[in-house]
């Protein structure tokens, strides 16, 4: 049967762990809720374990709160950030961990995806689950996806010379399994599901937080919200934040790089054509 291994006796495991069936042709993503994150880094560990990713180099302490991972990269596809607020006293704090903010960052699986639009080999493609994946057998390490990414996510590995980033556990999804980070998250700060359903759920969560007194909660990356308001339609992995995006190193209004390609090229060609006309007037080895 042409089910791609997705049909299992007793249903898919994802239906039991995430309450969602995984079927090709639908959009899947993550809803990451910073108000629920406790900074346990189970997502980082589960991601490294499942994807067989090596350590990021030598063990070192950054001094940046409990963040000793540093950044997303070729070998780190989930990264938990820690921001400690020292400026408020107990009693002045808003509810829901507003003074020690933990945030599990990941590839946003943008739509449209700047890395994919930059990729000249077709190694980066949009999968049957509407995720953005690098095909390791095609990537030739040209590195153009790296500056294209508005979030500093994708990186070319020094070990193998190919671009790497989160695949939304493409292999697990093929087998009907929820991605490793979401499955391991003990507080459901990371939720996996169909993007449209996740957005609805996230909007309800924002309302509930507002009612509970956390009036700064907002979505980042849902259509029309910060992160998806200046050329990128939506981030299939989106977030609930309570601070400005920059506090987490996120751009408030990332743009679509490909939109600049044609205007720039036309400007360059017009200049060259103008100078060619000047050359004809001056003469290029002209008649006497």
Partner 1 sequence: MKDTPTYHDRPALKPSGFDVRVAAYVAILGTAGAAQLLALLADREDPDDREGIAQGGRALGLAGALLGSVVLIGHLKTPKRWYNMLRILRPQSPMSWGSWLLTGFGGASFLAWLADSIGWRRGARMAQVPAGIAGAGVATYTASLLAATSNPLWSAAPGPLAAQFGASSMAGGASALALLQRRAGRVRSAQQLEDIARLALIAEWVAMQATEGRWRKEGVAQPIQEGTPALLEQGGGKALGMLAPLVLGAIGRPGLASAAILAGGALMRLAVLRAGDASAQRPRDSLHFARQRRP
Contact, 112 vs 149, CB < 8 A?
no
User: How far is Cα of residue 74 from the mean position of the Cα atoms in its chain?
Assistant: 13
Which is nearer to partner 1, 7 or 252 (by Cβ)?
252
What is the closest distance, in whole angstroms, from the C-beta atom of residue 220 to partner 1 in the complex?
A: 12
CB closer to partner 1 out of 16 and 244:
244
Q: Which residues contact 170 (CB under 8 A, 6 or more apart)?
A: 127, 129, 131, 133
Which residue among 144, 200, 203, 214 contacts partner 1 (CB under 8 A)? 144
Selected binder of partner 1 within 95, 196, 233, 264 (CB under 8 A): 264
Output the CA angle 143-114-46, nearest 5 degrees. 75
Stretch that binds partner 1, among 36-44, 177-185, 214-222, 275-283 (CB under 8 A): 275-283
Q: Which of residues 46-75 bind partner 1 (CB under 8 A)?
A: 62, 64-65, 67, 70-71, 73
Here the tokens at position 126 are 């949009």
Question: Binders of partner 1 among 109-128, rule CB under 8 A?
Answer: 114, 117-123
Nearer to partner 1, 74 or 195 (CB): 74
Looking at 34-42, 53-61, 132-140, 184-192, which segment touches partner 1 (CB under 8 A)?
132-140
Tell which one of 9, 57, 90, 286 touches partner 1 (CB under 8 A). 286
Query: Which one of residues 49, 140, 204, 233 is an interface residue with partner 1 (CB under 8 A)?
Result: 140
Is position 88 an interface residue for partner 1 (rule: CB under 8 A)? no
Q: Of the two residues 210 and 244, which places its CB atom closer to partner 1 in the complex?
A: 244
Cα angle value 40/43/49 (rounded, 5°): 120
Give, in order, the Cα–Cα distances in Å from 129 to each of 114, 147, 174, 236, 277: 18, 25, 9, 10, 51
Residues 152, 71 contacting (CB under 8 angstroms): yes
User: Residues 146-163, buried b or exposed e (16+ Cβ, 10 A)?
Assistant: bebbbbebbbbbeeeebb
Q: How far is the CB of 86 from partner 1 (least distance, A)?
A: 14
Find the farthest-apart pair of alpha carbons in the chain and give their distance in angstroms, rounded.
Answer: 90
């Amino acid at each position: 049967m042409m089910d791609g291994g997705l049909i299992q006796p007793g249903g898919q495991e994802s239906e039991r762990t995430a309450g969602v069936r995984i079927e090709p042709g639908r959009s899947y993503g993550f809803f990451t809720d910073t108000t629920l994150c406790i900074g346990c880094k189970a997502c980082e560990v589960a991601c490294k374990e499942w994807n067989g990713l090596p350590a990021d180099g030598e063990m070192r302490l950054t001094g940046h709160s409990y963040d000793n991972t540093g950044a997303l990269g070729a070998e780190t596809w989930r990264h938990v950030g820690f921001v400690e607020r020292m400026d408020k006293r107990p009693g002045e704090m808003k509810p829901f961990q507003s003074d020690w903010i933990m945030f599990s960052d990941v590839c946003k699986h943008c739509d449209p995806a700047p890395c994919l639009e930059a990729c000249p080999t077709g190694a980066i493609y949009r999968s049957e689950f509407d995720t953005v994946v690098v095909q390791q057998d095609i990537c030739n390490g040209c590195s153009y996806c790296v500056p294209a990414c508005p979030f500093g996510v994708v990186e070319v590995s020094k070990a193998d010379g190919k671009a790497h980033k989160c695949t939304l556990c493409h292999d697990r999804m093929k087998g009907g399994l929820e991605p490793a980070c979401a499955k391991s998250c003990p507080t459901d700060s990371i939720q996996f599901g169909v993007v449209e359903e996740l957005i609805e759920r996230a909007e309800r969560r924002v309302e509930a937080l507002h009612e509970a007194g956390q009036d700064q909660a907002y979505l980042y990356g849902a259509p029309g919200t910060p992160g998806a308001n200046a050329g990128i339609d939506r981030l299939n992995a989106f977030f609930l934040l309570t601070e400005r995006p920059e506090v987490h190193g996120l751009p408030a209004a990332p743009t679509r790089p490909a939109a600049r390609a044609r205007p720039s090229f036309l400007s360059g060609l017009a200049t060259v054509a103008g100078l060619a006309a000047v050359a004809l007037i001056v003469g290029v080895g002209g008649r006497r």
